[in-house]
Structure 1
Amino acid sequence: MVLVPVATEHVQELRRILGTPQVRARWRNEDTSPHWPFDDDSVTRFAVTLDGAVRGMVQYDEEDDDDYRHASIDIFLDPVVHGRGVGRDAVATLAHHLVHARTHHRLVIDPAADNEQAIRCYTAVGFRPVGIMRHHERDSDGGGWHDCLLMDLLAEELARHPH
Structure 2
Amino acid sequence: MRLVEVTQAHVVPLRRIVCTPEVALRWGVREPPPDWPYDDASVTPFAILVDGAVAGMIQYGEEDDPMYRHASIDIFLDPEFHGDGLGRDAVRTLSRYLFRVRDHHRIVIDPAADNLPAIRCYTAVGFRPVGVMRRYERNAHEDGWHDGLLMDLLAEELPDY
TM range (shorter): over 0.9
Q: Which residue of 1 aligns with 2:160?
A: 162
Q: Which residue of 1 aligns with 2:37?
A: 37
> Alpha-carbon deviation of 1:30?
7.7
SS in 2 for 1:26: helix
Partners in 2 of 1:11 and 1:48 — Cα distance? 12
| Cross-structure match for 1:84 | 84
Q: Is the 8 A contact 1:73 1:107 kept in 2?
A: yes
Could you tell me the TM-score, scaled by structure 2's length?
A: 0.97
Moved over 3 A (4+): none
1:31/1:37 contact within 8 Å kept = no
The runs of 5 or more residues in structure 1 that have no matched partner are: none
Among all aligned residue pairs of Structure 1 and Structure 2, give the percentage whose two residues are the same amino acid.
Answer: 65
Give the TM-score, by structure 1 length: 0.96
Alpha-carbon RMSD: 1.2
Question: In 2 relative to 1, CA 147–154 (structure 1 residues): closer, same or farther, beyond 3 Å?
Answer: same
Gaps of at least 5 residues in structure 2 are none
Q: Quick check: 1:60 aligned with 2:65?
A: no
- Pairwise mapping of residues 9-158 of structure 1 onto structure 2 (< 5 A)? 9-29=9-29, 32-158=32-158
Q: Distance in 2 between matches of 1:97 and 1:47?
A: 15
Give the aligned length: 161
